[in-house]
Amino acid sequence: MSTQLPVAKSVEVNPTQEDLKQLVAEMPNAQLTEFGNWHVKARVTSRSAGSTFIVTDDPSRTTKPTMPRDEYAALERIQEAWIAEKEMILIEGYIGPENSPLRRAARLYVETAGANLPAMQQQLYFPKDDAWREEDALTVIYTPTCPADGFPDERLVTIDLDNWVTRVFNIDYFGESKMGGLRMWMEWAYQQGALAMHAGAKVIPTPDGDKTALIVGLSGTGKTTTTFTRQNDSLPAQDDIVALVKGGDCFATENGCFAKTIGLDPTYEPTIYGALAKPSGWLENVAVSAEGKVDFLDDSYTANGRGTFSLSEIPHHDPRALGKADFLLILNRNESIVPAVAKMASVEQAVAYYMLGETKGTSAGGAAEAGLFLRVPGTNPFFMGHDYQQGNRLAEMINSIGEDFAVYVLNTGRVGGGDDVEGSKKVKIPHTSAIVKGIAEGTIDWTEDPDFGYLVAASVPGFDDPELLLPSTLYARLGRSEEYANAVRQLRAERREYMKQHAGLPSDVADALG
């Protein structure tokens, strides 16, 4: 079913990047940087989760906040009247490359006043071709200057899954454009029998052949960094959303990347840094001086600075050739007794930890989440159905692949407490990289953890701190063994209590938590 786009004062269809740069140059909040690229300081600095609603008269279909159709219809009329007086830009493309069975046409219709938004989105879509059909397109209608009266900060995102339309009001943060299309695509992919994951993907050469890794994690917890950090000249293929189908094949969604920039270091993240330091890169909410000097360490405006770039700007693995997934990494930015890596010992245990989705919240999820301990099933806040459906679908996928597929939890935070706790230790990027290399090459020595039943690493080649692998030894050395034992009991109890809300899961999933 095609959604008719609202009539506008004028519409520019599929302008080039150079055309869009000229429009961005006229924006009062845009600035040319030392790199020769454009930076825009947006009013909104993260996703507006508290103002996001699924449009339905049947709230039981989802656990997300909903809006009845009569209320939505009134807002639709307000937005269309607004657009009638505005100049608009239309960007058309695809989510997914041409060889993907899950490729879907997509489009963004946005006010020219926010010209950086279509410029960034154009880098993420796969290009339109002669097969593109308007009637198939997932549609985002975006008015960054139209207020939504009566909603928090007059901001609003509505998701109409019956007609595949997302509408955005009074938000100028690019993340709402990107996820507006991908969120709908993830629901559609689920309906096709796939599991769409909030995941990066990379291909790692090993003596036994290439290994494809999927990396799931909440925004800001190291997903992009882990995807782009190189092992054996590995190459990233996808940054954010990947679909897994029965048998293990996985499929890409985007032709570019939307990377977090805070702390971006050319030493540890040269690929991302290099792409965002080119004239072709786009920056949003990064600290830029009056002279155009970029400071990726300055979080005085927000820690959620971002940038987009096309895959063509970096060395990358062809997103059309991901093939079968070999392993899944579940990122967990923790600060207590979670080891730097744990290997799941069963399908049920893999589903359990996927559903726990434990991590420390970051600014990417908004100020309300930053610094808090969170549990987000699948580390995927964009799943539109009931969360247990994700877990059951993952079990289907793992069982269809067989023993060749393994699932791991990686702690990208600290062990022993926060950075204010004496004796605690940080899991650094080189630590995680050594673990990923060891997993891909099969060189890690595993042993069963007596408290949780998963496998922990007795040793990892190139890993310089065994206490990060076996947290109990760190706590013992610090004279905190009783604290460790109490933390084990508390965490096991909290996890089991949490899993009760996912009543659609088999009982043996909760039992797998130890």
Q: The CATH number of the domain where 290 resides is what?
A: 2.170.8.10
Long-range contacts of range 421-428, CB-CB < 8 Å, 24 or more positions apart? 423/474, 423/478, 424/335, 425/465, 425/467, 425/468, 425/474, 427/340, 427/468
We report the CATH number of the domain holding residue 227 as 3.90.228.20
Residue 304 domain flag = yes
323: left (phi over 0), alpha (psi -120 to 50) or beta: left
The first and second tokens of residue 123, run together, are: 């880098």
Quick one: which H or E segment has residue 473? helix 471-477
3-state secondary structure of 171: coil
Residue 1 domain flag = no
Domain residues for the domain of 180 are: 10-29+46-192
Q: What are the pLDDT digits (tens) for 200-235?
A: 999 999 999 999 999 999 877 889 899 999 999 999
pLDDT recorded at residue 374: 85
The residue out of 313, 342, 362 marking a domain boundary is 313
**Residue 280 and residue 416 in one domain:** no
Cβ neighbours, 10 Å, residue 235: 18
pLDDT recorded at residue 219: 78
pLDDT recorded at residue 359: 81
pTM above 0.85, yes or no: yes
CA distance 260 to 225: 9
CA distance 90 to 111: 9
3-state secondary structure of 156: strand
Q: What are the pLDDT digits (tens) for 44-84?
A: 999 999 999 999 999 999 999 999 999 999 999 999 999 99
Residue 332 domain flag = yes
Give 136's DSSP letter. Answer: G
Name which of 347, 351, 354 is nearest 375 in CA terms: 354
Residue 3 domain flag = no
pLDDT recorded at residue 1: 46
CA distance 430 to 450: 27
**Residue 138 and residue 221 in one domain:** no
Top pLDDT among 164 and 368 is at 164
**Residue 15 and residue 88 in one domain:** yes
**Residue 266 and residue 230 in one domain:** no
pLDDT above 70 (res 473): yes
CA distance 180 to 166: 6
Angle at 36 between CA 32 and CA 41, to 5 degrees: 30
- In this prediction, residues 288-316 reach a mean pLDDT of 97
Residue 271 domain flag = yes
What band does 371 get if pLDDT is binned at 50, 70 and 90? low
Residue 375 domain flag = yes
Cβ neighbours, 10 Å, residue 473: 14
**Residue 422 and residue 439 in one domain:** yes
CA distance 375 to 387: 12
**Residue 80 and residue 96 in one domain:** yes
**Residue 303 and residue 345 in one domain:** no
- What are the φ and ψ backbone dihedral angles of 99, each rounded to 5 degrees? -95, 0
**Residue 162 and residue 283 in one domain:** no
The count of domains in the chain is 3
The per-residue DSSP string of 326-382 comes to: -EEEEEE--SSS--SEEE--SHHHHHHHHHH-EEE--GGG-TTTTT-EEE-GGG-TT
Residue 39 domain flag = no
State the average pLDDT for the chain. Answer: 95
Residue 446 domain flag = yes
Which amino acid belongs to residue 359?
T
pLDDT above 80 (res 363): no
**Residue 185 and residue 79 in one domain:** yes
**Residue 113 and residue 209 in one domain:** no
- In this prediction, residues 142-150 reach a mean pLDDT of 97
Is the CA virtual torsion 226, 229, 234, 240 positive or negative? Answer: positive
pLDDT recorded at residue 410: 97
**Residue 426 and residue 469 in one domain:** yes
pLDDT above 50 (res 21): yes
Percent of the chain at pLDDT > 90 equals: 94
**Residue 379 and residue 232 in one domain:** yes
